[in-house]
Amino acid sequence: MKALEKKIIQSISQSACNQIPFSVFMNMCLYDREEGFYTSGHEVIGKQGSFVTAPELGEELAEIIGNYFLHLLEELKNPIIIEVGAGKGTLSYNLISFLKSNAKHSFDYEIIEISGSMIAKQKKLLEPFKGLVTWNSNSDAFEDRDCIVIANEFLDAIPFDRFVKLNNDIYPLMVTYDNKLSWKQHELPFSSDAMKQFSVNIEIFESLPEGYQSELHAYEELIQIIQKLQCAKSVCALFLDYGYGERDYYAAYRTNGTLTCFVQHQVSDNPFLMLGEQDITSWVNFTRVKNVLESNGFLVSGYTTQAEFLLSGGIDKYLNRAFENSDFQRVQNIKTLILPGEMGEYIKVLLATKNLNQKISLTGRSFLSRI
């Protein structure tokens, strides 16, 4: 038995009802200091890892994001770019490279990252920008500063809870151990106060069929980031992630939610396998994200698909260049970024601002009405 499994079993045995919330289990699997998926040091992103993110497919995403923020950087005084959950550092590297070549004014770059092993990978890749990039600074580093926040596939890695609808009530799905790890329905439904924590639309839940299972998101780590930015002069934040608005998220036909596990590019819905060796994730409830942001003084002014964002940002020029150079792998990578049924449709882009006087908006078709 692995040490991580022993820790989880011990946590269960020490709990009041011999069961723990799924969010606690997920946090241990992903972020245990010695054996967590993101913290143990093994390769998790890219061809040699368990999944591929958009920045790993080429520099196009970083350069279009950089170009999107260029005019804003020129108008802000002493700006700092903050990337939350930077993975291997690929987006950071390509974005800094582009901005150093194209931005008229200087900027600082901050990475907020909880994984020590990921920080080590990032520092190695970003060695050419030593002195420009800092990690996990205190809140006072953002005091009275104009902050541009970028979070690519950060929200989907935040631990969440699970539920099942029975007898018109919403019950927590817990994790228990009886010779093996498994699901266990809590004997009591969520209280009204607990449901308020997730700020869900009760009308949506009332319409769900019996036995329906899905996720509930508190997004506490997002709230912590927001609190860290309270002292900033202004904030402009761009979130990119797989997800839906709440009504689509809890569609009646999606009877088992969006819980997904990845290991070496294989997909399953069983989080109790290969503890610490597989990613555990779910799609993002962007309505909940919008509510969190707005309750903390942000204006959510843009919501669209990655395809719309990249096409309006000129990715067709990169595609034409790849065709001209007969670089068909690059062609395929760009198609993955923008095609329906691929990242282009499933990844959404959300823009939120706070105390920002300068004008900035998402171009392309707006889907704000869906959240």
Per-residue DSSP letters for 288-307? HHHHHHHHTT-EEEEEEEHH
User: Residue 302 has what pLDDT?
Assistant: 97
**HSE of 69, CA atoms in CB hemisphere, 13 A:** 30
| Burial category of 342 from C-beta neighbours within 10 Å (exposed 0-12, middle 13-18, buried 19 and up) | middle
Residue 95 has a CB neighbour count (10 Å cut-off) of 23
Closest CA to 182 of 103, 272, 280: 272
In this predicted structure, what is the pLDDT of residue 52? 84
Position 49 confidence tier, pLDDT thresholds 50, 70, 90: low
Confidence of residue 364 (pLDDT cuts 50, 70, 90): confident
Average pLDDT over every residue of 236-240: 98
Q: Is 162 helix (H, G, I), strand (E, B) or coil?
A: strand
Helical spans, DSSP H, in 76-138: 90-102, 116-125
Of the chain, the end-to-end C-alpha distance in Å amounts to 44
Q: Is 248 helix (H, G, I), strand (E, B) or coil?
A: helix
Identify the structural domains of the chain with CATH numbers, from first to last.
1-156+222-243+275-357 (3.40.50.12710)
- Band of pLDDT at residue 23, cut at 50, 70 and 90: very high
Structure token digits, residue 316: 């067709």
Predicted confidence (pLDDT) per residue in 159-203, tens digit: 999 999 999 899 999 999 999 999 999 999 988 888 888 887 888
In degrees, rounded to 5, the angle at the alpha carbon of residue 182 between the alpha carbons of residues 181 and 185 is 140
What pLDDT score does 48 carry?
66
The tokens for 93 are 């590297």
Prediction pTM value: 0.95
Helix H segments across the chain? 3-13, 22-31, 60-75, 90-102, 116-125, 192-198, 202-206, 220-228, 246-249, 286-295, 306-312, 315-324, 328-338, 343-346
Neighbours of 148 (CB within 10 A): 24
